[in-house]
Structure 1
């Protein structure tokens, strides 16, 4: 999928993109996304991440990038960097590759982590945080935002001192279980290059490569 991506894939990933944008905004506590003619705008409101535009079609990158000048503006484009780079121009800093991924969710029992770890769940409305802890602090964690039938996994992280112990898989399994118990049937996330292998082993598939770029703050 990654190497063979074509513009025809845009139509197949439209709903996944929409689910991710709305779920990400819910997870991060931003205002609701605004639908634009070429995609979505999210007013993030942070000094180095003021606003982001998510574009499902790489063909719209050139006009959108040319119209943006404010430092702290981000673009997330569904398409490989080779299709996007020339349309951005020299003002934009391109980040490491990312990948839009999805999977089906189903009922599953709670996951038991290896000793001495335990799993905690903290929920606020439709946002749920899973924390794997040793009792002295977190070892791995992640968040899921559930919006209707879709659940967006976000901020999945393992402390470097606790890596290679299967804790990332524990977090993802628990996030999926919690989301399914709240009625979600599809999981969506955007993975880094590092996370791509883990999620692939857990049954997630790539819907589109993502090219991320930003206008640096001064």
Structure 2
């Protein structure tokens, strides 16, 4: 993937993510985007499309406030070597894409139910047991009619894994996006979710490093 293609994919991910999370509109920067999230531990995210060392050092140097996060699409070792001990890495991540098409989501397992709803441009899928206990969830959003769909917050309760619920949620969300005209999808995946996404046809296009400012006590 060329640098311009990666930048365009990151922009699509950013645009859909802010819709999904209800964050502020992204502000374009020379090195990427700034997003005000507004949560105590996630006040602001700085998403770097220029992952060069000078850009990382510059943004990190100006973002030394608790609650600030950096998102960089580079190998973790390269990024972490540029930052001091006051920056703490989150779990490794991956930027992934897929061509979207309608697929049969599969049957809801016995003893479970699936609900979907759309509000504010975000479609959510929730799987619970018949008694209402949480089993799995996820959501999908788009940053505009011509933009890729962004899959977000896929989660399966530990006791409900390996039952096909992750695939059920993903295909349900994918079908909802296809019905709205989306042809491609983007997501930021974790190591736990990567195998599921790859089994469903998603591919990794870049590493995703997430670090947050966490000053150490003297």
Structure 2 CA distance, aligned partners of 1:90 and 1:131? 39
Relative to structure 2, which stretch is displaced further, 91-100 or 133-142?
133-142
Relative to structure 2, which stretch is displaced further, 148-157 or 168-177?
148-157
Q: CA RMSD in A?
A: 1.6
1:106 equivalent among 78, 101, 110: 101
Q: Determine helix, strand or coil for the equivalent of 2:116.
A: strand
Match of 2:139 in 1: 143
Alpha-carbon offset, residue 202 of structure 1: 0.8
Structure 1 CA distance, aligned partners of 2:81 and 2:22? 33
Q: Determine helix, strand or coil for the equivalent of 1:27.
A: helix
The reply to whether residue 26 of structure 1 matches residue 19 of structure 2 is: yes
Structure 2 CA distance, aligned partners of 1:27 and 1:80? 26
Match of 1:4 in 2: none
Structure 2 CA distance, aligned partners of 1:61 and 1:31? 22
Q: Is the 8 A contact 2:87 2:215 kept in 1?
A: no
Structure 2 CA distance, aligned partners of 1:135 and 1:10? 48
Structure 1 CA distance, aligned partners of 2:40 and 2:215? 8
Match of 2:91 in 1: 96
Match of 1:125 in 2: 120
1:53 equivalent among 46, 59, 70: 46
Q: Is the 8 A contact 1:144 1:153 kept in 2?
A: yes
Structure 1 CA distance, aligned partners of 2:35 and 2:171? 28
Alpha-carbon offset, residue 120 of structure 1: 0.9
Q: Is the 8 A contact 1:57 1:79 kept in 2?
A: no
Match of 1:197 in 2: 195
1:37 equivalent among 30, 33, 39: 30
Q: Normalised by the size of structure 1, how large is the TM-score? A: 0.91
Alpha-carbon offset, residue 68 of structure 1: 1.5
Alpha-carbon offset, residue 163 of structure 1: 1.1
Q: Is the 8 A contact 1:48 1:217 kept in 2?
A: no
Structure 2 CA distance, aligned partners of 1:10 and 1:91? 30
Q: Is the 8 A contact 1:66 1:88 kept in 2?
A: no
- Structure 1: state its 5+ residue gaps: 1-7
Structure 2 CA distance, aligned partners of 1:153 and 1:211? 18
Deviation digits for residues 25-60 of structure 1, max 9, x if unmatched? 100111111111100111001111110000022202
- Structure 2: state its 5+ residue gaps: none
Q: Is the 8 A contact 1:55 1:78 kept in 2?
A: yes
Q: Is the 8 A contact 2:15 2:142 kept in 1?
A: no
Alpha-carbon offset, residue 67 of structure 1: 1.7
The reply to whether residue 115 of structure 1 matches residue 128 of structure 2 is: no
Relative to structure 2, which stretch is displaced further, 130-139 or 183-192?
130-139
Q: Is the 8 A contact 1:105 1:184 kept in 2?
A: yes
